Structure 1
Amino acid sequence: MNESVEMVVDHQPFTVRRTVRWIDCDPAGVAFTGRFSEYLIGAVMHFYRHIGWGPGAKGEANVGLPCKHMALTFHVSLPPETTVDIVIRVGAIRERSFDLLAHARLADGRLAFEGVFAPICIEPRERLGVPIPPALRDILQFHHITDEGGRP
Structure 2
Amino acid sequence: MASIRAPLRFKRTILFGDCDPAGIVYTPRFTDYALEATHQALNNVFGEPAIRAMHALNILTPVRATNIEYLSPITWDDEIELLVCVNHVGSRSYTFSVAATKSDKTVFDATITFVCVCAKQKQTIPIPQQVRDKLNLLTIKGS
TM-score by length of 1: 0.82
Question: Tell me, which stretches of 5 or more residues in structure 2 are unaligned?
Answer: none
Count of aligned positions: 138
Q: 1:122 offset after TM fit, Å?
A: 0.9
Q: 1:13 offset after TM fit, Å?
A: 2.6
Would you say the 8 A contact 1:123–1:130 is kept in 2? yes
Is 1:66 the counterpart of 2:62? The answer is: yes
Counterpart for residue 96 of structure 2: 100
Deviations 1:36-55 (A, max 9, x none): 11111111121221122742
Question: Tell me, which stretches of 5 or more residues in structure 1 are unaligned?
Answer: 1-9
Q: 1:58 offset after TM fit, Å?
A: 5.2
- The aligned runs of 1:114-129 (5 Å cut-off) are 114-129=109-124
Aligned counterpart for 2:42 among listed residues 39, 48, 62: 48
Describe the shift of the 1:67–1:54 C-alpha distance in structure 2 as closer, same or farther (beyond 3 A). Answer: farther
Q: 1:139 offset after TM fit, Å?
A: 1.8
Q: 1:101 offset after TM fit, Å?
A: 0.5
Q: 1:142 offset after TM fit, Å?
A: 2.2
User: Which structure: greater helix fraction?
Assistant: 2
- Structure 2 residue identity aligned to 1:128: Q
TM-score by length of 2: 0.87
Q: Percent identity?
A: 22
Deviations 1:58-83 (A, max 9, x none): 57742221111111111110111111
Alpha-carbon distance in structure 2 between the residues aligned to 1:132 and 1:60: 14
